[in-house]
């Protein structure tokens, strides 16, 4: 267990750490207590852990290999993996839609209609010695959700930084194993340390319809970030 999982009350801030058990712990959440002053820390970091079918995992790895996407750093912005015509990716979209609804239910939030959610994904292939440096997927007023799907067992973890807490207790570490899907707010920073063996995974972003419409209505010439997002397709 990570030290950060044991945080209940500190001299710096108070938080709630909770899990929901549906066969295994899925919702991991760090949330401030109700603020008593206008300057008290306010944060809410819900991270969802789930799994996809093993047979789909092997088919996804094969699809990545067939498309020769080892150099992910140069290519990840230039395509949407969910546009590929593979049954495994169609199945994966349906699984993500189901997991999204479970996630929203656990948080007691109204789920967006699946017809109004859009998705874009990319392959991440790390060779031995390579890493994923610290980053987040979005940090603006239209930020929604992102996810990571581990497709290989490399004995590594993905490190998630919890605001206010990680500087004192370290990152929260999600174990990478074949089929493990993690969903989280897109602004949450995360990283993977150098791997010892080849590592396959898929990253994805979810957008609501209003975000897609806003970007589409305000397109700027040669704006790479906008063009990347507009490669998204409907989740359902």
Per-residue pLDDT tens digits of the chain, which is 236 residues long: 456 666 554 544 555 555 554 444 799 888 887 888 999 888 899 999 999 998 999 999 999 998 876 555 557 788 999 999 999 999 999 999 999 999 999 888 887 777 789 999 999 999 899 999 999 998 888 889 999 999 997 788 999 999 888 988 899 999 999 999 999 999 999 999 999 999 999 999 999 988 898 888 988 888 888 888 989 999 98
What pTM does this model have? 0.88
Could you give all domains of the chain from N- to C-terminal order, each with its CATH number?
A: 51-234 (2.60.120.620)
Confidence (pLDDT) at 11: 45
Confidence (pLDDT) at 34: 80
Residues 207, 208, 214, 217, CA torsion sign: positive
Sheet with 145-150, side-by-side order of all strands: 15-18, 27-32, 44-51, 180-185, 145-150, 199-208, 117-126, 233-234
Q: For residue 170, how far is the Cα from the chain centroid?
A: 19
Confidence (pLDDT) at 7: 59
CB neighbours of 98 closer than 8 A, spacing ≥ 6?
Answer: none
Q: For residue 160, how far is the Cα from the chain centroid?
A: 10
Closest-CA residue to 203 (of 188, 218, 217) = 188
């Amino acid at each position: 267990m990570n030290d950060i999982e044991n945080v209940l009350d500190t001299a710096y801030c108070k938080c709630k750490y909770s899990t929901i058990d549906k066969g295994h712990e899925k919702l991991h959440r760090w949330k401030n207590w109700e603020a008593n002053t206008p300057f008290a820390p306010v944060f809410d970091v819900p991270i969802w852990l789930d799994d996809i079918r093993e047979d789909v995992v092997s088919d996804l790895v094969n699809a990545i290999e067939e498309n020769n996407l080892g150099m992910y750093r140069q290519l990840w912005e230039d395509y949407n993996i969910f546009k590929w015509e593979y049954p495994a990716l169609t199945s994966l979209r349906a699984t993500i839609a189901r997991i999204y609804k479970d996630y929203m239910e656990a948080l007691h939030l109204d789920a967006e209609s699946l017809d109004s959610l859009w998705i874009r994904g990319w392959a991440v292939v790390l060779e031995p010695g390579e890493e994923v440096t610290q980053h987040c997927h979005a940090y603006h007023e239209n930020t929604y959700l992102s996810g990571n799907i581990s497709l290989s067992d490399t004995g590594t973890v993905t490190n998630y930084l919890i605001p206010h807490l990680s500087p004192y207790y370290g990152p929260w570490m999600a174990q990478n194993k074949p089929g493990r899907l993690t969903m989280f707010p897109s602004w949450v920073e995360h990283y993977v340390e150098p791997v010892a063996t080849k590592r396959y995974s898929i990253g994805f972003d979810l957008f609501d319809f209003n975000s897609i419409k806003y970007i589409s209505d305000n397109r700027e010439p040669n704006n790479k970030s906008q063009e990347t997002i507009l490669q998204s397709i409907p989740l359902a």
